[in-house]
A and B are shown apart, each in its own frame.
Chain A
């Protein structure tokens, strides 16, 4: 029986474009670009200057703040520039440019670590120094997630292999090709949290991954695979927690408040690889897909290469590209240029045509209630959208607008194509601003 939650909806996933394409490792580009904003948390200070020579895994930027992770050079070479540059979020952010010497000399500090001989605190420090963040797309520093306040007792560790966003198959391929790294990573995290069981949630549209992970989990002994119903947004944190544990994260609270920590599949894999090799997070799997990509595939790339570079590796564009997206089509960020660099959270790059994005005329809301039926947070998006348009923030809050997880399902299925989520976001932003002003 598959685990799930109430609400949500199965949407066409287009995963067969890339789900059977083995990961292709790409070499580095001539110049790698590292924006200083690759995690949620405190800003970083640049530790190198123009002309410095750097090695693979050398820290380029860091801070003393706890809620932050350093950024490393993924190649060896020379720092050729430090200047504001295009960030995949659309903003312009200071970035360090490293000219690749193609020697890939590793920094002398890079050494394998033995988790067996370390205390949890030392292990957390390794994770922080390796720059590991949630690799599913949000980019929250993993060591912070793994350091819940002592009064919050954690009794559930859930590894998120749902990968519910259409098109993306990066985690799927990771499970198929490097299952041991995932199991090892889970063991390390279990040791940090002193837990004796862990759960891996995988949507049943990946039966090969479920079977393989089940076999590996059985060998490991205390890891359980939970098949999840394939529907969107099954991989959203609160929905996944409910599916596996039947616990509801209260409004405005964190998973740790119900004793749960959720980590992405690729994040735990990165943790074990970091311990094994000593290398920080400098490579990741990027799914390149969409109907405007000639040869869609899964690529392992060094961070800092441009989108263009990977798209060329995937055979380039075909057809009339109208939307370029970093991340999934439901929650990803639309790009206005393919010159932006791959950062730690770039799970996929999609190039879609007009026909695929279903761009259509706008009609008024006919109150069909489909957004209400399918909202995974059981909100009423049609009213939230209306209150936002009327700037009635009080009513919007009364209708729990701040609980919206911005999964995008309401806008996806709205027959009037009126994009309720866009309006909801605007109201949420205003409410947050007002709260900040009050403080």
Chain B
């Protein structure tokens, strides 16, 4: 017997199990190793920063949608991802009130004011990080030595990038240390190994494809190898590897430049996007005032994404010339 009225809608009548929240949860899972590593290297305060950023992002989303009478989208977990990504881009010493403002900026200004999930044209976490970098340059660029504890014990240390650029004095970490994360930097960017692990998980779960991370890193590495101004006596290859493993490149390339909303939708567009990110990161690191250029490059390419999508439409099957009978 048919008990209920039958649902009549146009085809298809079945749906994949994947949903927006399942994708967001996959991203969160992929970020857990890097987060844990950050907490291990920088102490419990890293956990406090992460939790604060997430809580502030979720609260901002909830309150904004409540006030504007929009349907609550807290359950899609996208605000958690934004908060987590922002926290991983912050130094462990960041004052918590700045973290809260940063999260609120990401959610309210960058995401909600442009229409909410799917409508923002910049990566919210990155835009908030850039905003914080400009607003509180000092607090945002004070990094401490890993495993040195927090508070009075903490020893502030220049990031490898600043040393590479020659703007700060200090000892460069070994390549192994740079890869596993024993280096100064933001909470989440220290451990290349853990970021790669997360990236592999996202690839396995088909949340992302290899195109953007691999091309981004490869283009950056190629430019650095060919044109990078190596201030030290290390070999150019060593210098290139060091540049790839330090700073926010892996975090940016794997987790930020692959953000769906702010990157082109077609593969061709994504490849152009990734090449642009790679070149811009190199240019900013080499010629810019800041030692780091990942955030700015991705944001600049985010703005170009709609244009890229328009120019890089895939060739339709059976469209265009050259399809006549062979």
B3 at the interface (CB under 8 A from A): yes
Nearest Cβ on chain A to B121's Cβ, whole angstroms: 10
**In the complex, chain B residues whose CB is within 8 Å of the CB of A329:** 11-14
**In the complex, chain B residues whose CB is within 8 Å of the CB of A7:** 317
Closest to B267 in A: A373
Question: Across the interface, do B15 and A358 meet the contact criterion of CB distance under 8 Å?
Answer: yes
Q: Among B7, B13, B18, B323, point to the contact of A415 (Cβ < 8 A).
A: B18
**In the complex, chain B residues whose CB is within 8 Å of the CB of A408:** 11-12
B19 at the interface (CB under 8 A from A): yes
**In the complex, chain A residues whose CB is within 8 Å of the CB of B16:** 11, 358, 412-415
Binds B, one of A126-134, A271-279, A359-367: A359-367
Nearest Cβ on chain B to A329's Cβ, whole angstroms: 4
Question: Across the interface, do B318 and A251 meet the contact criterion of CB distance under 8 Å?
Answer: yes
Tell me the complex Cα distance, A359–B264, Å.
28
Q: List A357-407 residues whose CB lies under 8 Å from chain B.
A: 357-360, 363-369, 372-373, 376-380, 382-383, 399-400, 403, 406
Tell me the complex Cα distance, A417–B9, Å.
13
Q: Among A166, A413, A416, A422, point to the contact of B118 (Cβ < 8 A).
A: A416
**In the complex, chain A residues whose CB is within 8 Å of the CB of B10:** 334, 419, 421-422, 425
Q: If the complex has contacts A317-B1, A368-B23, are A334 and B319 also in contact, measured as CB distance less than 8 A?
A: no
Question: Across the interface, do A415 and B318 meet the contact criterion of CB distance under 8 Å?
Answer: no
Q: If the complex has contacts A323-B6, A363-B117, are A372 and B11 also in contact, measured as CB distance less than 8 A?
A: no
Q: C-beta contact mask, B306-326 vs A, less than 8 Å → 1, else 0?
A: 000100011111110001111
Q: Among A248, A323, A365, A367, point to the contact of B13 (Cβ < 8 A).
A: A323
A191 at the interface (CB under 8 A from B): no
Q: C-beta contact mask, B113-133 vs A, less than 8 Å → 1, else 0?
A: 000111100000000000000
Closest to A410 in B: B12
Tell me the complex Cα distance, A148–B14, Å.
37
B22 at the interface (CB under 8 A from A): yes
Question: Across the interface, do B118 and A334 meet the contact criterion of CB distance under 8 Å?
Answer: no
Question: Across the interface, do B8 and A334 meet the contact criterion of CB distance under 8 Å?
Answer: yes
Tell me the complex Cα distance, A365–B5, Å.
29
**In the complex, chain B residues whose CB is within 8 Å of the CB of A253:** 318
Question: Across the interface, do A332 and B11 meet the contact criterion of CB distance under 8 Å?
Answer: yes
Closest to A90 in B: B8
B17 at the interface (CB under 8 A from A): yes
**In the complex, chain B residues whose CB is within 8 Å of the CB of A425:** 10
Question: Across the interface, do A322 and B4 meet the contact criterion of CB distance under 8 Å?
Answer: yes
Q: If the complex has contacts A358-B14, A411-B12, A415-B22, are A380 and B6 also in contact, measured as CB distance less than 8 A?
A: no
Chain B at the A interface: mostly helix, strand, loop or mixed? Answer: loop
Chain A at the B interface: mostly helix, strand, loop or mixed? Answer: loop
Closest to B22 in A: A415
Q: List B38-83 residues whose CB lies under 8 Å from chain A.
A: 73, 76
**In the complex, chain A residues whose CB is within 8 Å of the CB of B73:** 363
A182 at the interface (CB under 8 A from B): no
Tell me the complex Cα distance, A368–B6, Å.
31
Tell me the complex Cα distance, A360–B315, Å.
32
Query: How many residues on chain A are close to B (CB under 8 Å)?
Result: 76
Question: Across the interface, do A382 and B265 meet the contact criterion of CB distance under 8 Å?
Answer: yes
Question: Across the interface, do A357 and B13 meet the contact criterion of CB distance under 8 Å?
Answer: yes
Tell me the complex Cα distance, A433–B12, Å.
24
Tell me the complex Cα distance, A408–B13, Å.
9
Q: List B16-44 residues whose CB lies under 8 Å from chain A.
A: 16-20, 22-23
Question: Across the interface, do B261 and A352 meet the contact criterion of CB distance under 8 Å?
Answer: no
Specify which of B6, B13, B23 lies most central, judged by the most chain A CB atoms within 10 Å of its CB: B13
Tell me the complex Cα distance, A406–B9, Å.
14
B227 at the interface (CB under 8 A from A): no
Q: If the complex has contacts A399-B313, A415-B23, are A356 and B318 also in contact, measured as CB distance less than 8 A?
A: no
A110 at the interface (CB under 8 A from B): no
Q: List B102-156 residues whose CB lies under 8 Å from chain A.
A: 116-119
Question: Across the interface, do A367 and B8 meet the contact criterion of CB distance under 8 Å?
Answer: no
Closest to A333 in B: B11
Closest to A405 in B: B317
**In the complex, chain B residues whose CB is within 8 Å of the CB of A323:** 6-7, 13
Q: C-beta contact mask, A295-317 vs B, less than 8 Å → 1, else 0?
A: 00000000000000000000001
A48 at the interface (CB under 8 A from B): no
Nearest Cβ on chain B to A333's Cβ, whole angstroms: 7
**In the complex, chain A residues whose CB is within 8 Å of the CB of B264:** 369
Nearest Cβ on chain B to A302's Cβ, whole angstroms: 24
**In the complex, chain B residues whose CB is within 8 Å of the CB of A330:** 11-14
Nearest Cβ on chain A to B119's Cβ, whole angstroms: 7
Question: Across the interface, do B19 and A421 meet the contact criterion of CB distance under 8 Å?
Answer: no
Question: Across the interface, do A415 and B20 meet the contact criterion of CB distance under 8 Å?
Answer: yes
Tell me the complex Cα distance, A253–B4, Å.
43
Q: If the complex has contacts A335-B8, A363-B117, A372-B314, are A416 and B13 also in contact, measured as CB distance less than 8 A?
A: no
Q: List 13 A-B contacts (CB under 8 A).
A: A248-B317, A251-B318, A258-B325, A320-B4, A322-B7, A331-B11, A334-B10, A357-B14, A363-B73, A366-B20, A369-B264, A409-B12, A421-B12
7 A-B pairs with the lowest CB-CB distances in the bound complex, closest first: A358-B15, A408-B12, A369-B265, A364-B118, A368-B260, A248-B323, A329-B14
Contacts A258-B325, A367-B263 supplied; 8 other A-B pairs, CB < 8 Å: A11-B14, A320-B4, A330-B11, A363-B73, A368-B265, A373-B209, A399-B313, A421-B12
